[in-house]
Amino acid sequence: MPSLGADMEAGRLVEWHVKPGDAVKRGDVVAVVESDKGAIDVEIWETGTVAEILVAPGTKVPVGTVLATIRADGEPIRGTPPATAAPSVTPTTAPPPPPTAPAAPPVPPTTAPPPPPPSPGPVLTVRASPAARQRARELGVDLSGLAATATGPSGAISVRDVERAATPSPPPAPLAPPTAPDMRRAIGSAMARSKREIPHYYLATEIDMHAAVKWLEAENRTRAVADRLLPLVLLVKAVARAAVEIPEMNGLWVDGAFRPSSAVHVGIAIALRGNAGLVAPALHDVQSRPVADLMPALADLIRRARSGHLRSSEMTDPTITVTSLGDQGVDAVYGVIFPPQVALVGFGAITERPCAVGGMLGVRPRITATLSADHRASDGHRGALFLTAMGRHLAAPEALA
Amino acid sequence: MSAPAKPTPADDELDAALRALLAGIAPDADVTRLDSTSDIRSTLDIDSFDFLQFVIGVKERLGVEIPESDYAQVRTLESCVRYVAQRRRPTPS
């Protein structure tokens, strides 16, 4: 049972996506686990064949419990399970990446909202988890009839819905989804810890977005609707580039020291609908990916955050977080750092503002960017250089993309 | 240009289709009660990502592409129905 936060003690194994005999490779999602932070898709760190499933769906177990055993390729099949030397499926407290930032499980306030009430209008598409679709195929169940009574996240059809439709026998007791109070408590404890332990300092700067806005407009005129870019993707890329230049902003504070990360995995603060909470999962390796690659990845991340299908690596890997509240119309946000990260970048709305342009009064789209940083890892001077670097990158969007 | 026409049955169908799209994006909101003249984004608490999904939905389901420069013309359900209807109807001679 992985630890998905420093204060997590136990989790409930909700669903297995593999069975004994299945081949798995590192990074595959093998199970769904539920904690008070929501449902997380658990990825496996080993490559091999599933030997034995040790924890049945619906069972709650302490963090660290072996959930299943994996036989590495080439290893002979062993007789009886328990003391097998095969590596176990516990992506626990030691995820290898990012290379220079070691183990300590971070406490990002994480994932999925409780399943929202069924939507009042007609359902246009049949949304179902991949596991549900497979089960439906196996059992010969028509998914379209289940849409109205779906119990999965965001009204998607879950494996349980399919099985309930197929069999006359009563389904297993429904798993209680994490309720808003649990999520609120998880966020509260992470933020309280942050304020207790991290000496925050705050800087703000106004960044000219004229070039960036023009570039985005031109790009989106040529792109298909489904491929349109949002300003956020450019902002996030600028943060990543600046983080490479000022590394004291990118990494984790662990055991009294700053562990910089060579990769920039940007946590994207995503508000969950219906005031269900906040999660900030990682967009990986932003510094080296083109915007054309980042935009669909960002869209996928947001969708999965809101439907409760984030992956464990996304919860534990952020090295810096971005929160953008421009859509809500605020000018600036002075955020709270997500421990054990050491910096948080905030963005307000892009608005037309009067400013000096070539010695005359002009009007340009501008944005207020803020930095909340850990004074143990950096001083204001370095923070200022970081914000300046961001502004420089956003002034040259073609090179940034 | 003549005054806006009375809503036709086709418009009502469009209204329903647009509401359904919005319901998919904002499952926690009661889209059936959304006033046609209210600002969609602020009333349903829809951010720019959600709005883009709505625009993608309009293109995929109703065949009408809304360029970014026209976003201001589709702020309410009423204006959106008008916008989409005009682009679906064959142009008058």
Beta-carbon separation of A299 and B32 below 8 A: no
Instruction: Classify strands A310-311 and A38-43 as parallel, antiparallel or unpaired.
Output: parallel
Which chain A positions have a beta carbon within 8 Å of B59's beta carbon? 225-226
Q: What percent of chain A lies above the pLDDT cut of 90? A: 48
Angle (CA) A36-A272-A207 rounded to 5° is 125
Which chain A positions have a beta carbon within 8 Å of B24's beta carbon? 119, 121, 123-125
In three-state form (DSSP H/G/I as H, E/B as E, the rest C), the secondary structure along A244-265 is: HHCHHHCEEEECCEEEECCCCC
Which chain A positions have a beta carbon within 8 Å of B67's beta carbon? 220-221
Q: How far apart are CA A363 and CA A35, in angstroms?
A: 49
Q: Which of A116, A125, A327 sits opposite B27 (nearest CB)?
A: A116
Q: What is the pLDDT of residues A71-102, one digit of tens each?
A: 887 665 544 333 333 333 333 333 333 333 33
Q: How far apart are CA A333 and CA A335, in angstroms?
A: 6
pLDDT at B83: 95
The distance of A337 to chain B (nearest Cα, Å) reads: 23
A·B CB contacts under 8 A: 68
Window 36-55 of B: residues touching A by CB (8 A cutoff) are 45, 47-49, 52, 55
The distance of A46 to chain B (nearest Cα, Å) reads: 35
Instruction: Classify strands A360-374 and A200-208 as parallel, antiparallel or unpaired.
Output: antiparallel
- Mean predicted confidence (pLDDT) in A222-251: 97
Among residues A307, A388, A355, the alpha carbon closest in space to that of A32 is found at A307
Q: Which of B32, B65, B66 sits opposite A121 (nearest CB)?
A: B32
pLDDT at A354: 93
The distance of A123 to chain B (nearest Cα, Å) reads: 7
Which tokens hold the place of A385? 């250089």
pLDDT at A46: 83
Question: How confident is residue A124, by pLDDT bands cut at 50, 70 and 90?
Answer: very low
pLDDT for A286 beyond 90: yes
Beta-carbon separation of B28 and A117 below 8 A: yes
Beta-carbon separation of A273 and B30 below 8 A: no
Beta-carbon separation of A220 and B68 below 8 A: yes
pLDDT at A395: 97
The distance of A228 to chain B (nearest Cα, Å) reads: 8
Quote the mean pLDDT of chain A: 82
- Mean predicted confidence (pLDDT) in A371-377: 97
Q: Where are the alpha helices (DSSP H) in B1-93?
A: 9-25, 40-44, 48-62, 77-88
Q: A381 and A356 in contact (C-beta within 8 Å)? A: no
Of A33-47, A252-266, A309-323, the least confident: A33-47
- Mean predicted confidence (pLDDT) in A316-339: 93
Q: In Å, how far from its chain's centre is CA A277?
A: 13
Chain A residues with CB within 8 Å of chain B CB: 116-125, 154-155, 217, 220-221, 225-226, 228, 230-232, 271, 273-274, 299, 302, 326-328
Q: How far apart are CA A366 and CA A207, in angstroms?
A: 6
Q: How far apart are CA A281 and CA A270, in angstroms?
A: 8
pLDDT at A6: 54
pLDDT for B69 beyond 50: yes
Beta-carbon separation of A116 and B65 below 8 A: no
pLDDT for A369 beyond 90: yes
Q: How many residues does chain A have?
A: 401
Q: What percent of chain A lies above the pLDDT cut of 70? A: 81
- Mean predicted confidence (pLDDT) in A149-163: 77
A251 backbone φψ class: left, alpha, beta (φ>0; ψ -120 to 50):
left
pLDDT at A75: 64
- Mean predicted confidence (pLDDT) in B67-86: 95
Q: What is the pTM of this model?
A: 0.72
pLDDT for A173 beyond 50: no
Question: How confident is residue B90, by pLDDT bands cut at 50, 70 and 90?
Answer: low
Q: How far apart are CA A149 and CA A160, in angstroms?
A: 11
Q: How far apart are CA A323 and CA A193, in angstroms?
A: 19
**Amino acid, single-letter form, for residue A252:** L
Highest mean pLDDT among A28-42, A138-152, A165-179, A234-248: A234-248
pLDDT at A246: 98
Backbone torsions φ then ψ of A351, nearest 5 degrees: -135, 155
Q: Which of B22, B24, B48 sits opposite A327 (nearest CB)?
A: B48
Beta-carbon separation of B61 and A327 below 8 A: no
Which chain B positions have a beta carbon within 8 Å of A123's beta carbon? 20, 24
pLDDT at A86: 36
pLDDT at A89: 39
Q: Which of B20, B48, B56 sits opposite A121 (nearest CB)?
A: B20
Q: How far apart are CA A5 and CA A35, in angstroms?
A: 10
Q: How far apart are CA B54 and CA A320, in angstroms?
A: 30
Q: Exposure of A41 by Cβ count < 10 A (0-12 exposed, 13-18 middle, 19+ buried)?
A: buried
Beta-carbon separation of B27 and A273 below 8 A: yes
Residues with Cβ within 8 Å of A16's Cβ and at least 6 positions away in sequence, in order, are: A30, A31, A53, A57, A68
pLDDT at A270: 94
- Interface check for B67 against chain A (CB to CB < 8 A): the answer is yes
Backbone torsions φ then ψ of A29, nearest 5 degrees: -85, 120
Beta-carbon separation of A122 and B16 below 8 A: yes
Burial B67-80 (b: 16+ CB within 10 A, else e): eeeeeeebbbbbbb
Of A41-55, A171-185, B9-23, the least confident: A171-185
pLDDT at A247: 98
Which tokens hold the place of A285? 């390796």
- Mean predicted confidence (pLDDT) in A180-207: 91
Of A1-15, A42-56, A254-268, A366-380, the least confident: A1-15
Question: How confident is residue A158, by pLDDT bands cut at 50, 70 and 90?
Answer: confident
Q: What percent of chain B lies above the pLDDT cut of 70? A: 87
Of A385-394, B37-46, B76-85, the least confident: B37-46
pLDDT at B1: 52
pLDDT at A98: 38
A373 backbone φψ class: left, alpha, beta (φ>0; ψ -120 to 50):
beta
Q: What is the pLDDT of residues B12-49, one digit of tens each?
A: 899 999 999 999 998 888 888 889 999 999 888 899 99
Among residues A107, A51, A113, the alpha carbon closest in space to that of A79 is found at A51
Of A98-107, A264-273, A381-390, the least confident: A98-107
